[in-house]
Structure 1
Amino acid sequence: MTPEELKSLVGFEKSIQWWWSSGDPTGYMDALAEDVTYGDPLADYLLVGREAVREHFKRIHGDAGITRQEHLNEVSRSISTDAGLLAFTFNTYQQDGTGEETLFLSWNMSLIFRKTDGTWLMTHGHLSLRHSWDVDNIQKLRNSWNLDSIRK
């Protein structure tokens, strides 16, 4: 994979991530490979296959009112001629009741994408909530997506 292809992959991931943060999960759903594996702290187990991940996304996704997002500590690596690894810290921000921007949630993410027929497809994703020992973080997720239980 060339440096230009890696740069293209980074731009692609940032664009579908913004769709997600803006309330539209379509970009991420369309970018799932048939054989994707996905680890998410909101899932009870590792999700295997496009349909399992899509169903998970449908269950948890909602408009969280994200006003800004940032990718920090970004690492991108070529792992073959048609695949790349992206790893980064992902912060999302919301406006509070006074209009001030505040950190909503912070994640560590690692994603592997494969280029198939000219299209980037995610083959593996792993998310971990930073500061997961903070009970407020899980409550923020539940409140944001109006979930009574993340195990439904």
Structure 2
Amino acid sequence: MKLLYLLVALFLSIGAGAQQHTPLPHGTVYGKKPSITSMMPATKLEAYMGNRTRISTTIEGKVIKVTKTKGGWFELDAGNGKIINAHFKDYAVTIPTDLKGRTVIIEGVAQKQFIADDGQHFAGDTVAGKKQHNVNANPKQSLTFEVSGLMVDK
């Protein structure tokens, strides 16, 4: 009888071990496969954009953290302590939390954050020429990226 319990425990432990997440292999694609013909590092994206507010491009960068798996929300390292907030265009895409720390290639639309309160007044302000509203814009998170396709690189 003890042998039977031992065998059952052995089979259950093998089954539980098989359910653990395996590392993501190189080339795993989420969404559509990104084109790598005009790829650039994520650290150079803001300088490449210059005065443009939106561009379509492909970048390569390291995932800092996955904020929400459904819809593919994650943060990408943009260098110099800056962060690119990224999410999938298609909300049906689900990404694993195992992407944290991995280098990925993403294709989509990069956009600079727009702050409407830069030197503008609000209708109804009583004191002309003086700002009465504070905008808490984080300079480290000035770029957003709407991803159409992601591929695990490293």
Q: Which bracket does the TM-score occupy, shorter chain normalised?
A: under 0.3
Q: Which has the higher strand share?
A: 1
Q: TM-score, normalised by structure 1?
A: 0.27
Q: Which of structures 1 and 2 has the bigger CA Rg? A: 2
Q: TM-score, normalised by structure 2?
A: 0.27
Q: Which has the higher helix share?
A: 1
